[in-house]
Amino acid sequence: MRINKELVEYVAELSRIKLDESTTEKMIKELGAVIEYMGILNRLDTEGVEPMSHVFPITNVMREDIVIPSYDREEILGNAPARTDETLIVPITIE
């Protein structure tokens, strides 16, 4: 893919940023280098390489999700000024 001025201006417009002429020229070179490097990576033989989400062997450090009894619903709703059988009723805050 060839990066040209029109493409950089189009991407800048989509990004809602304004680029002056010198920045546009700089972006042409930098985006071209990124695309060139992606081409090098695409040529690598990755046959037999297992996909990974991270380069380090990380594991989930969260605790196990253990179900425990909660508070009694009637006890919680007992102090509510307005309620239904299962929920609190609150005043409307957005009209």
Rounded to whole angstroms, the Cα distance separating 81 from 91 reads: 11
Q: pLDDT by residue (tens digit) across 37-89?
A: 999 999 999 999 888 888 888 887 888 889 999 888 888 888 888 888 888 88
Residues facing residue 88 across a β-bridge: 83
Q: So what's the pLDDT on residue 7?
A: 94
* DSSP state letters, the chain: ----HHHHHHHHHHHT----HHHHHHHHHHHHHHHHHHHHHHHS--TTPPP-S-SS-----PPP--------HHHHHTT-SSB-SSSB-------
Structural domain includes residue 19: yes
Total tally of structural domains belonging to the chain: 1
Q: So what's the pLDDT on residue 58?
A: 80
**What's 27's domain CATH number?**
1.10.20
Whether the predicted model's global pTM rises above the 0.75 cut: no
Structural domain includes residue 92: no
